Structure 1
Amino acid sequence: MKRIVFTGGGSAGHVTVNLALIPHFVRAGWKVDYIGSENGIEKQLVQALPDVTYHSISTGKLRRYFDWNNFKDPFKVVKGVFQAQRLIRRLKPHVLFSKGGFVSVPVIFGGWMNKVPIIIHESDITPGLANRLSFPFATKVCVTFPETLDHFQANKALHVGAVIREEITAGNGKEGLAFCGFSASKPVLLIMGGSLGSQKINQLVRQNLQQLLERFQIVHICGKGQLDSSVQADGYRQFEYVNERLADLLAMTDLVVSRAGSNSIFEFLTLNKPMVLIPLSRQASRGDQILNAESFRKRGYAEVIEEEQLTGERFVQTVLSTYEQRAEMKAKMQRDQVANGIQSMVDLIMSCAK
């Protein structure tokens, strides 16, 4: 029996592609293992899968800012490397697939020490720190944007396009409306701040809620620990995180407000959902979401508000004006519809399995 180890985590964006790929290997009869952190969101998402064995190791976060944890996290990473090396030696996988994130670094090192073929996936236009550290140990690097090829050696890098989960396209809008208690007679605005949420976006939504509710019914996915039970209104539903019902919520949605993580925005593109994108600022990231958002803005799929320019008035005006442009945006999305790269990715991984 063939065996594959998946890794990646720290945020839902570093798990989504793995969740899209795993069913293909389960159906093919492979043994599937996942190595992640002890308490990360990847553990929550993967442990719900019946045919995947989850293994926890020590991990440390790769920060771009000062934090006292920066002094002790390298020791956690070293510990994680040895844990991953022993675990992979015992599992004896034929191939290792990494979606990136700080969780993946010790696993990549452990796989390399065991001479396991390693496939890395990079979603954003510019590679993240974890993938840059891991690249020398990889057999192949798969990218979503063709521009990303410029950052890697030509003999290792391959453009596969977006990897879209099968279930995200199978949503039922009527079930989404029923789940939220909404009516089909009023448009739906879906607001997502990412799996970790965004305090600034959440605050703006709640401060301008009554004005937005005049035009929309609102589903607000606000992130772990960021629910506000004091905010209640007809036509407004808030959730920390949505997994199984997300496809239904997207199916009923007329306009999305979101961060600009590559996995999410390509799913919105696949579903022809006009977007208002609020990318993470350069102070909070390496600026990858800004580049992702600008790419979609140039193609006519989205309007963009940079976080430094985010005010209540600007937010509401952009949401309303983007909704008025929705037909034009959807026409451009349908014209430029990108192919799902999932089968190319599956074929590559299987061909690289030792």
Structure 2
Amino acid sequence: MRNIIFVAGGTGGHLYPAMNLADYIMNNSRDINIIFIGRKNGIESKLLKDKFPFYGISLPRAIELRPWDYIKAFYEVEKIIRKLKPDLFVIFGSYISVPVLINAVFWRYPFYMHEQNVIPGKVIKYFSPLAKGIAISFPETKKFLKNKNIFYTGNFVRKEQLTIDKESCKKELGFNLNKKLLLITGGSQGARKINEIVKKIIPILLDMNWEIFHQIGENLFSEYIKDIPEEWMFKGYRPTPFINEMEKAIRASDLAISRAGATTIYQFLYAGLPAIYIPYPYAKDNHQYLNAKIAVEKGFGTIIKESDLSESVLIEKIVEWGDKKVKPLNLPDGREIFWGILKDYLEGRN
């Protein structure tokens, strides 16, 4: 039995591709054991529960991080490694990866990496020369990395869920087949500014014959729904803290209003869903805007900068894109490609 340690967490953007790849590997191999390392009490500790073995390390949130926190985490990771004796690490970025990568380099464990965004994060960029190989979601990323083994795999999404029949998804989710469905998501943690603007135009959208599936964010939900009229619900507005079956929601929808995380964009491209992208303005290296720009250049929607966001601008874009159809892109199944690369490496070590 081979042990592979996946390192992912912090946000859904790092975690979901890792989970999707891990599921694929477990469904297509018999001699692989996948273990996750992430942050104690982070989103990963909740989403990985009962799915994969998980080891949490004592790192605070990024904004609270101090240099000595890495020292403590380094020794925690060292104990985990000594216990598990992994054959390989797969790193998905974020500061959570740093103590694991330092251990991997120090103890000479092999590791591969996956970069979700167009512009690679600092961790991926700094450690990329030492990796056995790096998988990238967008071809444009290659020029930013120093490694001879860079593979364009695309992002790791559940392809089979993004090609389900649209009508069956609408039925299963309980939406009206005779109305258009608008999906609104600010990412796994929600987006306060998007929620505030959307809230002001919901009556208008309902009168325009839209139904709305709105992921508010778990930390924002209770405050947001305090003054929501029941009439909105009866007319087809459905707010929720978190959408568990996001792939089905994407397939059921006719248009999305969304942040511009790499995994979300890749899901939209795969499913053929146009979107109004409102990139997170404080993302490092402005990577959400650059992610969205790739989708827009392919004809999959438009961008509104958060500084330009208003009720009138948003309604204008919904009207502009509400009846447009886009064809799903023929994208690679990144899970299959990357697992093939990892498997070849493991077999070559025999």
Q: TM-score, normalised by structure 2?
A: 0.90
Matched with 2:43 is 41
Contact 1:89/1:114, CA 8 A, preserved across alignment? no
Superposed, 1:54-69 pairs within 5 Å as 54-62=54-62, 69=64
Distance 1:91 1:261 in 2: 32
Distance 1:197 1:21 in 2: 24
Distance 1:48 1:308 in 2: 41
Contact 2:128/2:134, CA 8 A, preserved across alignment? yes
For structure 2, which runs of at least 5 residues remain unmatched after alignment?
A: none
Amino acid at match of 2:306: E
Superposed, 1:1-354 pairs within 5 Å as 1-27=1-27, 28-29=29-30, 30-49=32-51, 52-62=52-62, 69-70=64-65, 73-166=66-159, 168-169=161-162, 171=164, 173=166, 176-178=169-171, 181-215=174-208, 216-227=210-221, 228-229=224-225, 230-232=227-229, 233=232, 234=234, 235-243=236-244, 245-281=245-281, 283-324=282-323, 326-327=324-325, 330=326, 333-334=327-328, 336-353=329-346, 354=349
Distance 1:218 1:24 in 2: 31
Alignment partner of 2:35: what SS?
Answer: strand
Amino acid at match of 1:307: E
**After superposition, what is the alpha-carbon deviation per residue over 1:277-305, rounded to whole angstroms, capped at 9, x for unaligned?**
11111x44320011111111112111111
Alpha-carbon offset, residue 84 of structure 1? 1.0
Alpha-carbon offset, residue 202 of structure 1? 0.5
Amino acid at match of 2:43: I
Taking every aligned residue pair, what percent have the same amino acid on both sides? 26
Distance 2:90 2:283 in 1: 27
Alpha-carbon offset, residue 127 of structure 1? 0.6
Say if 1:236 and 1:6 are closer, same or farther in 2 by CA, change over 3 A: same
Alpha-carbon offset, residue 36 of structure 1? 0.6
Contact 2:6/2:91, CA 8 A, preserved across alignment? yes
Distance 2:89 2:154 in 1: 20
Contact 2:181/2:213, CA 8 A, preserved across alignment? yes
Contact 1:220/1:239, CA 8 A, preserved across alignment? yes
Alignment partner of 1:161: what SS?
Answer: coil
**After superposition, what is the alpha-carbon deviation per residue over 1:242-279, rounded to whole angstroms, capped at 9, x for unaligned?**
22x22322221111111111111111111111111111
Contact 2:131/2:147, CA 8 A, preserved across alignment? no
Alignment partner of 2:322: what SS?
Answer: helix
Alignment partner of 1:142: what SS?
Answer: strand
Amino acid at match of 1:296: A
Contact 2:186/2:258, CA 8 A, preserved across alignment? yes
Alignment partner of 2:317: what SS?
Answer: helix
> What number of residue pairs does the alignment pair up?
337
Contact 1:95/1:352, CA 8 A, preserved across alignment? no
Amino acid at match of 2:228: V
Alignment partner of 1:196: what SS?
Answer: coil
Distance 2:70 2:344 in 1: 30
Say if 1:80 and 1:219 are closer, same or farther in 2 by CA, change over 3 A: same
Say if 1:279 and 1:40 are closer, same or farther in 2 by CA, change over 3 A: same
Amino acid at match of 1:306: K
Alpha-carbon offset, residue 338 of structure 1? 1.7
Contact 1:60/1:103, CA 8 A, preserved across alignment? no
Say if 1:93 and 1:278 are closer, same or farther in 2 by CA, change over 3 A: same
Distance 2:79 2:219 in 1: 35
Distance 2:128 2:14 in 1: 16
Distance 2:124 2:259 in 1: 21
Alpha-carbon offset, residue 45 of structure 1? 1.4
For structure 1, which runs of at least 5 residues remain unmatched after alignment?
A: 64-68
Distance 1:242 1:96 in 2: 30
**After superposition, what is the alpha-carbon deviation per residue over 1:310-343, rounded to whole angstroms, capped at 9, x for unaligned?**
111101111121113x22xx1xx44x42222221
Distance 1:173 1:18 in 2: 26
Alignment partner of 1:242: what SS?
Answer: coil
Stretch moving more, 170-179 or 344-353? 170-179
Contact 1:173/1:250, CA 8 A, preserved across alignment? no
